[in-house]
Amino acid sequence: MPAVGEAAPDFELLNQFGEPVRLSELRGRNVVLVFFPFAFSGICTGELCEIRDNLALFADADAAVLGVSVDSKFAQRAYAGQEGYAFDLLADFWPHGAVAQKYGVFDAGSGMAKRGTFIIDSSGIVRYVVVNPRGQARDFGAYRAALAGLVGS
């Protein structure tokens, strides 16, 4: 798992529209990388809807939000459409969970990503990491504080 102060591992995944998204191509912007277990699940939907409803917070911090799960791009597209997500949902579908593994948040026993969040600054350096236990939602206030730290620096 990349630690705070380390370079974020680069990757390329397809978003819900089948378009490639490469982390390194977002240099110059902050990135909030949100791994979630599965589309359409209760806690995940609550967390991503909170992001959706507070996108201005991320825009104010010049931060791109990237949601990542092991679901296919087709499931991601249906999920984003149903919930009105205006940010990329990335399919870590094949090789199964490869990016989640790079970030140390793949649960091989269940075949899903853990609830890991990585805030990456505009230079590609990890500035915030949290991994929540299964069944425990992330604290949205922590995003707010971490993003405020980036804006102030």
Distance CA 58, CA 54 (A): 7
* H/E segment holding residue 46: helix 42-53
Contacts by 20-24, CB closer than 8 A, 24 or more apart = 21/66, 21/88, 21/90, 23/66, 23/120, 23/124, 24/124
For residues 91 and 71, the answer to whether their CB atoms sit within 8 Å is: yes
Distance CA 29, CA 120 (A): 9
Q: Which of 44, 75, 99, 146 is catalytic?
A: 44
Which residue, among 38, 47, 28, has the nearest Cα to 100 in the 3D structure?
38
**Does the active-site annotation cover 49?**
no
Distance CA 12, CA 73 (A): 13
Report the catalytic residues.
Answer: 44
